[in-house]
Amino acid sequence: MPQNTTTTVWNYSAGPAIMPKPVLQKAAAELVNWNNTAMSVMELSHRSPEFEQILATTEHNLRTLLAIPHNYRVLWMQGGATSQFSALVYNLFGHPHEHVAADYLVTGAWSAKAVQEANRLGVKTNVVLDTTASNHTGSIDPTTIHYTPAPNAAYVYYCDNETVHGVEFPAVLANVPASVPLVCDMSSNILSRTFDVSKFGLIFAGAQKNIGPAGATLVLIRDDLLDRKHPTLVCPVMMDYALCAKNNSMYNTPPTYAIYVSGLVFEWLLQQGGIPAMEKRNKEKAETLYTAIDSSNGLFVCPVAKTYRSRMNVPFRVCDPTTGQPSNDLEKRFLNGAQERRMLQLKGHRSVGGIRASLYNAMPIEGVNVLVDYMREFAATVNKK
């Protein structure tokens, strides 16, 4: 197949999402012959020394990138972030305390699903913050939250970046009762900015947004939490953190190829200057796009409160200049024009509508600049009428 027929596209998908081009090129170059084994990584036994080496290097690089403390375990699991909504309930609700409830902050579609699953499994949850009534637009004041007092709380749960609604916490959630583990869904913003892992008990992330291919799910867990299983809810083996940790993520066959490609992404991140360099770039990208939205005289509107605007997923509406209301017609026109310019996957989530541009680590600033240029061009055609 000829190599040079692929044309450039800009992929703003929320996930599975854009990958760094050098990573895809390296994976392609090694596809049929990894490290002179005359085999593809996907043909290697997960018990082989070759794969063990890949797994060890991948973990080492991740630990370097995130400065993961020694008392945290890195687990590769399956079933996506969604399976973690269940897994954390089974694993964190028991010993050493008699936990009566878990506190949940509901700030968008994903944290809503997480608490729904905990309730379905029959444990007691307290929704200590819920922005449903304001359509998850980041009307959040963490200082007003009343948490369950320490000995009775199993954990405090929140989603750091709500991928659908574009709501992101500007910093690690503060003022949580000190001895209660903080549990966080970082599926769509892990590796995008520096943060202190030691503030969390458990962090999880599906790979397909900001890590690598779908199929691998990353879990970081403080090791004292490996022994907290619910006393009566029997945890399925595939969701058992302690079992996964004891078997070095290989109780059964792990998603070997997805882990390998994630490892290539970690190498790429290190070459780029690590997380501080990504943070700087991501900040610049997000500022460029939000500035274009906010300076459009109401043609483009982002509904999210400024402090909680996501740097990874930017949702906005295209509004009719005469009514000031979101216009499905203008949004359709905007998306069609984008498609013609090879700017893809800009349609907002079906539950929110409008436009959403995802700007993960792999999206270069050029991808934001072409979008902003197109927005200006589009504004000129609308204003002419």
Would you name the residues annotated as active-site residues?
110, 185, 209
From 79-87, 129-137, 221-229, 241-249, give the range in contact with ligand PLP by CB under 6 A. 79-87
Question: Contact at 8 Å (CB) between 167 and 136?
Answer: yes
Q: How far is the CB of 207 from ligand PLP (least distance, A)?
A: 8
Q: Which residue is nearest to ligand PLP (CB)?
A: 80
Helix (H, G, I), strand (E, B) or coil at 63: helix
Half-sphere exposure for 179 (CA within 13 Å, toward CB): 8
Residues in binding contact with ligand PLP, number by CB under 6 A: 12
Helix (H, G, I), strand (E, B) or coil at 175: coil
Q: Does 185 bind ligand PLP (CB under 6 A)?
A: yes
Q: CA separation (Å) from 57 to 53, 60, 170, 263, 359?
A: 6, 5, 31, 8, 27
Nearer to ligand PLP, 94 or 215 (CB): 215
Q: Does 159 bind ligand PLP (CB under 6 A)?
A: yes
Q: How far is the CB of 18 from ligand PLP (least distance, A)?
A: 15
User: CA torsion, points 234, 238, 242, 243, in degrees to nearest 10?
Assistant: 110
Nearer to ligand PLP, 163 or 256 (CB): 163
Nearer to ligand PLP, 99 or 162 (CB): 162
Nearer to ligand PLP, 66 or 184 (CB): 184
Cis amide prior to 96 (ω within 30 degrees): yes
Enumerate the β-bridge partners of residue 125. Answer: 102
Residue ranges in 1-20 that form contacts with ligand PLP under rule CB under 6 A: 15
Nearer to ligand PLP, 48 or 82 (CB): 82
Q: Does 331 bind ligand PLP (CB under 6 A)?
A: no
Residue ranges in 245-284 that form contacts with ligand PLP under rule CB under 6 A: none
From 1-9, 75-83, 93-101, 231-239, give the range in contact with ligand PLP by CB under 6 A. 75-83
Residue ranges in 106-125 that form contacts with ligand PLP under rule CB under 6 A: 110
Of 50, 78, 41, the residue nearest 252 (C-alpha): 78
Kindly provide the residue ranges of all beta strands, DSSP E only, lying in 67-120, ordered along the sequence. 72-77, 101-106
Q: Does 163 bind ligand PLP (CB under 6 A)?
A: yes
Q: How far is the CB of 293 from ligand PLP (least distance, A)?
A: 21
d(CA 257, CA 380): 46
Q: How far is the CB of 205 from ligand PLP (least distance, A)?
A: 8
Nearer to ligand PLP, 257 or 378 (CB): 257
Of 193, 187, 194, 195, the residue nearest 211 (C-alpha): 187
- Among 99, 209, 230, 281, the residue binding ligand PLP under the rule CB under 6 A is 209
Element at 309 (helix H, strand E): none
3-state helix, strand, coil in the chain (%, to 5): 40, 15, 45
User: For binding to ligand PLP (CB under 6 A), which residues are involved?
Assistant: 15, 80-82, 110, 159, 163, 185, 187-188, 206, 209
